[in-house]
A and B are shown apart, each in its own frame.
Chain A
Amino acid sequence: MRQPFPSFQQLRVLDLTDRWGQFAAKLVTQLGADVVVAEPPGGHELRRAWPLAVSPAGQPISLYFWHFNAGKRSVALDLETGEGRSAAAGLVAAADVVLAGADSYDRFSATLPGGFGSTPVVALSAYGLDHRDDERADELHVAARGGTAGLSGYGPEENSSPIIPPAEQAMHSAGLYGAIAALLAVRRGRTAELFDVSAQAAAFQGTEQLFSCWVYRREVLHRRGGGYATPFPTGRWQLVSSDGSYFYPLGLLPRTQREWTDLKDWMRREGAIQDLDEPAYADLMELRGQNPFVISAPGQHAGEVISDFLRSIDAERAYREGQAMKMGWGRVYQPHETLGEEQFVLRELFHRTAWPGTSEVYRTQSLPWIIQSASVPHAPDEVVYPPEIGQHTRDVLDAWAKPVSGTEPSASTER
């Protein structure tokens, strides 16, 4: 299992997030922090979120809640009661940082005497706390207003239409910024500071050339089927291989003359060289030109021959053998196909998880890194469970009422 930082066990994080903060809280949990999700007595609203499964007892299980909350502890809080408000105030005061949504930020600020006190808060929402827009606080509208919606989709030859990023990518980007903000907040200490994270801003930040092409060149980007919008209308790169799988050769022509020679050798062996042995196709730089998006006519022809070749073999072979000769190509996989990828198995990318009270164990994504450090031992591949509603209420209220033991930091090694 990918290693959490043992020292993070001392880090107390109170999770009051809605959808926009799910990935942030998951990341901080995976880093090893003691993350406590506060739920109303009936359970977090996302315990009913799609996709669902059915437990052996016939109860609906939200895989969404499971995915984002595995490894956390749960406290049930009823803010309608004095006891609940008192418990909430205690948790806020004991936390090193609070992760909140827009609603919970308002509710806790209004309900608790002293609000969040000196505890720093990271609030994650669609457009930032000062631009609440609940009717349009979803991935569709954030994509429309965050620059991502117009960049992906289908081009003029395919009944042109834009497509928003899949599976809540604005939320994921905001979550990464939220987790970064949480660690910055912890570093600052109890400063009562608010870190306001906007999913719209997070979406726009990752749009690569959109901002700079307009600001510096007054160019707009043209989307096309198969990905990668460019300032110039260009041909398609995505191909259908002989086995019906999709294949994505980013830039059909290789980068170096050596790679071009290797690729032509491969195509010759496969009887797919066509006319590429003619002198006009000998010099790669003549074919490529200076601008990767403006290819010479011979270069375009070479690309068509390469495309013909790639369509004639299966995608897996094209991917593996192409990569063996340093071609930056990839097969278009479905997400679940990554589970069997030898590379990920060897590096233990996926860790075990299960629903409480059930025996089936599944695999889910870990943090994308392996750490070498004297303070981070290799961790056993333990099964990580999502919490049941209020499962840890008493334990957490007792434990968080006491100061964290052994919190005196070592002498800083910063210069």
Chain B
Amino acid sequence: MPGLPLTGVRVLDFTWVISGPQCTHILGDFGAEVIKVEWPHYPDGMRNRGQPPGTDPGSWEEGGLWNNLNRNKRSVTLNMRHPRAAAIALDLVAQCDVVVANMGPHVLESWGLSWEVMQSVRPGLIYLCMTGFGLGGPNEGYLVFGPVMQAISGIHGMTGRPGAEPAGLGYSYADYTAGYFGALAVLAALQDREATGNGAMIDLGQVEATVALTSVAILDYQVNGRPFSAWGNVPFGADDAPAGLYRCQGEDSWCAISVRTDDQWAALTRVIGRDDLGCDSRFSAQKSRAGHRPMLDQVVSAWTEPRTRDAVVTELADAGVPCSPVLTAEEMLADPALRARGYYQEATHPLLGPREFQMGAIQSPAGPELRRAGPMFGEANDDIYGGLLGMSPDHIRELAAEAVI
């Protein structure tokens, strides 16, 4: 089958930071034409975050995370606070299948781009409105970033050692999750439109998306009266013991070890020179080993700490005990499983040069496909305003001179 699944779908992208861009880059990776609308004088703060050393800190073109999140998109500038901007934006809406925004509640409405107005110029439009708590309700105006969403939703409090202070997550997982949910919602609405001809407005609450990640904990609380208790580094619901992350020789060097079967337990005790534990009735069965995790963790750590991580992994793997290195970012880039599946693809950015991109979790003949690096600021003004909207070069120059674009 030629082309990508979303070839022919055009997306108008009023997104910034992480959640919205994550949503639209998935759509772009599978073929959608994504037109990112940027404010000429106040661009996405991610544009100058995490630049390579030596680059101009004021540059809007060399942010590493921004480049990764905004590949396969075009960029136009449009000052939505200018009186002439709304009409231009509506001309763009009329040419698009999907509008995505994560600008906060009612921001597009304040620009004259309410759902009703956008629908009137583009029947069948799909509008994904991503906000912290969704539209309406007492929390509508709350200001939430990824880690705060994680705190409010419960996922932060679930992370940590048993009985200890919550550790929380070290990254804005909630933003990415909201982006995935957003892409799913758009695809579902496109599918529905194929069947019914109707468009849709999707009012997505990003905190609500994070609540979905608390999994079965809410049901368990209601049925068993049991508040969630952190599992530390034991896989959720597993009886594995010993199991967890163990410190190895060197700075912040760790490995993962999990013992599931009696054979693995026997192999572990043999390798670490603790045959005495193999004969100890307290540890003869999986369930009873699980009841002695803290003690077993001490035993295993005493063996791993004076050894290098790679020596531990090799020795245990040879003995048939499941063991993995905790990979660094540098090692993730060399990981054979990720490399083999084409997780990294390369595109050349005008200033950053050839760069690799993280292409998501799907591998298929239908994509993802990397077609271009993150766009330079307003690089598509001539193509989109001239080519798509039919503006003359003089008109485009006049709009630029008046600070409309």
Contact = CB atoms under 8 A, between A and B. Distances in A.
15 contacts: A27-B184, A145-B335, A150-B254, A167-B217, A169-B173, A198-B337, A201-B338, A217-B50, A223-B170, A228-B168, A248-B168, A365-B218, A367-B181, A375-B192, A375-B198
A410 B195 contact: yes
Given A140-B258, A180-B362, A128 B341 contact: yes
B182 to A, nearest CB: 9
Interface in A250-280: 250
A349 B134 CA distance: 11
A332 B166 contact: yes
Contact of B160 (A163, A188, A207, A349): A163
A335 interface: yes
B188 interface: yes
A168 B217 CA distance: 12
A151 B126 CA distance: 36
A397 interface: no
B144 A201 contact: no
B165 A197 contact: no
A11 B327 CA distance: 40
The 7 closest A-B pairs by CB, nearest first: A227-B168, A216-B64, A335-B154, A229-B170, A368-B208, A151-B170, A214-B329
B136 interface: yes
Given A198-B363, A208-B172, A338-B214, A328 B327 contact: no
B361 A205 contact: yes
Given A196-B363, A216-B50, A373 B189 contact: yes
A369 B333 CA distance: 35
Interface string A271-291: 000000000000000000010
Nearest to B362: A181
A153 B156 CA distance: 11
B173 A165 contact: yes
Contacts of B97: 414-415
A124 B374 CA distance: 29
A191 B218 contact: no
A89 interface: no
Given A181-B362, A193-B366, A226-B167, 16 more contacts: A53-B223, A63-B220, A138-B238, A151-B169, A162-B254, A180-B180, A187-B5, A195-B363, A204-B358, A210-B332, A212-B68, A215-B333, A216-B352, A227-B170, A323-B141, A413-B124
Interface string B49-63: 011110001000000
Interface in B200-222: 200-206, 208-209, 211-222
Nearest to B155: A166
Contact of B332 (A185, A211, A212, A344): A211
Contacts of A360: 223
Contact of A413 (B141, B193, B240): B193
Contacts of B161: 154, 161, 163
Contacts of A368: 134, 178, 181, 204-206, 208-209, 211-212
Contact of B211 (A224, A226, A228, A365): A365
A110 interface: no
Contacts of A367: 181, 185, 212
B153 A338 contact: yes
Interface in A345-399: 346-347, 349-350, 353, 360, 362-365, 367-376
Contacts of B335: 145, 200
Contact of A332 (B135, B156, B216): B156
A88 interface: no
Given A372-B200, A410-B197, A415 B8 contact: yes
Given A209-B65, A332-B151, A204 B332 contact: yes
A85 interface: no
Interface stretch (A36-44, A72-80, A129-137, A302-310): A129-137
Contact of A369 (B146, B198, B204): B204
B159 interface: yes
Interface residues of B, number: 160
Q: Which of A67, A160, A165, A364 has the most CB of B within 10 A?
A: A165
A186 interface: yes
A336 B196 contact: no
B116 to A, nearest CB: 10
A187 B149 CA distance: 32
Given A229-B170, A238-B168, A333 B153 contact: yes
A167 B236 contact: yes
Nearest to B168: A227
B318 to A, nearest CB: 13
Contacts of B197: 410-411, 413
B191 A163 contact: no
B327 A172 contact: no
Q: Which of A140, A143, A152, A290 has the most CB of B within 10 A?
A: A140
A7 interface: yes
Contacts of B328: 150, 214, 220
A415 to B, nearest CB: 7
Contacts of A362: 219, 222-223
B257 to A, nearest CB: 9
Contact of A330 (B144, B170, B332, B367): B144
